[in-house]
Amino acid sequence: TLPLEHGAHRIGNRTDADMARWRSQRLGQFIHWGLYAIPGGEWKGKTYNGAAEWIRSWKEMPQQEYDNLYKQFNPVNYQPEEWAQQANDMGAKYMIITTKHHDGFCLWPSKYSKYSVAASPWKKDIIGPMVDAYNKKGIDVYLYFSIIDWNQPDWRAALKTPADSIAYQRFKVFVKNQLTELLQRYPTVKGFWFDGTWDDSWKNDGSFSDELEQYLQRLHPGLIIGSRLRADEKGARHFDSNGRLMGDYEQGWERKLPEKSADVHGNDWEGVMTIPENQWGYNARWAGHIKSSNELIEMLVKSASLGGNFVINFGPKSDGTFRTEEVQRMQEISRWMKINGSAIYGGTDAGFAKQDWGYYIRKSGTDSVYMVVCNVPVSGQLRVKLPAQTTLVNVTSLEKNIISGTPELIGKNEYFIHLDHKNQDAPFVILLQTSKDS
């Protein structure tokens, strides 16, 4: 292995209580909210094909006009308690909020930037009431923070001249000041979700990102920071030049999920997912494929079965309300989680071979293994193959009228579970109690 000063400083997952709490939560809510919700993907009658929160980068978007949108930010229907209530009903155990996206607009009245809610008609802090409302519901809060900041004159994507380096030095002080300010203002937050760390200026400064991460951990012990913050001294991101994960969990699963256990190498990881194909901020016109609640539930189940967290993204409108399709999905997921949440919370990779009918999830540290059935076989029966020296003690379903009769033993550690449940309109869950043969 290469001698790295700014590569991974820990081999293997964190074992402390803060990380165990994160690992048990499994379902999160991402919220992308900011000035981009005002145009909502449209500008002077034309629609922007990319993600709505990137509209400022659209060549036909006059950037000065975008930057002046702060004069219209006035979310008169913003009700953080309602946001927290619907997230709690959905079963989210943590929430990630964009404090500042790439456009640099701060949803808190930062001392270090004029480009914040303080300059808008709204004037007031958005983040504080949100953190309080979610924490009151027992939901942890993580702060999304974009390193890219199109509003800061000292931001550079690359350092081409000595003047660039001097400006970027000032920018790094600005970043450290804002992150310190966020931790001082919102001491109950559990971590940062960094983004916008792909440019050369950041990638080629592994020592700074390493020192910044250690500084933040000292300032706020237990802080959880994913692999997207850092680069090592050779510019490697997420995994250092020796292939070891940097940060506390793999944070690269954006709009995609691992397929099998081998894809995550036993690391903690988190997948973040949009409901449309690629819209994080509010877009008035959702085009293309819009994921159903069943699709999102299956992704959540798949993530838990592979030992990872799953975070569903929502993009509130500029007035502070949520679009109907998003409210519908929160309500449908809420109904499913109220019946089946025990299979998700504290769930992890069961170590069983994947089956066509769905996913196994082990309740961490126990012999309880949940079967989440997404595809009922035409035979109407489910094959269950247990590891060697394992006996099936009991089989129950989390809903009534799922299983018919008792499981049929068909060979060494292999059973058929016969189903009563024919018309499947959502995944259903069967709990296997197993025991190790003495």
Residues making contact with ligand H76 (CB under 6 A): 32, 51, 53-54, 195, 254, 272, 280
Do the beta carbons of residue 385 and residue 407 sit within 8 Å?
no
Beta strand pairing status for 94-100 and 27-31?
Answer: parallel
Show the tokens assigned to 107: 């949803």
The angle subtended at Cα 248 by Cα 246 and Cα 254, nearest 5°, is 85
- Residue 253 or 352 with smaller CB distance to ligand H76: 253
Q: Nearest distance from residue 82's CB to ligand H76, in Å?
A: 23
List the strands of the sheet with 224-225, edge to edge.
Answer: 224-225, 191-195, 140-146, 94-100, 27-31, 308-314, 269-273, 250-254
Of all residues in the shown chain, the one whose CB is closest to ligand H76 is 280
Q: What is the smallest separation between the CB atom of 296 and ligand H76, expressed in angstroms?
A: 17
Q: Name, in order, each residue with C-beta under 8 angstroms of 210's C-beta and a sequence gap of 6 or more.
A: 5, 6, 230, 232
Nearer to ligand H76, 275 or 350 (CB): 275
Kindly state the tokens that stand for 48.
């922007």
Alpha carbons 166 and 160: distance in angstroms, whole number: 11
30/171 with CB nearer ligand H76: 30
Q: Which is nearer to ligand H76, 57 or 433 (CB)?
A: 57
Tell the smallest beta-carbon distance from residue 32 to ligand H76 (Å).
6
**Structure-block tokens of residue 46:** 């034309």
Residue with Cβ nearer ligand H76 (272 or 372): 272
- Of the pair 54, 415, the CB lying nearest ligand H76 is at 54
Q: C-beta of 322: minimal distance to ligand H76 in Å?
A: 18
Closest CB 314 distance from ligand H76, rounded Å? 12
* Alpha-carbon Rg for the chain in angstroms: 23
The nearest distance, CB 196 to ligand H76, in angstroms, is 7
For 152: left if phi > 0, alpha if psi spans -120 to 50, otherwise beta; the answer is beta
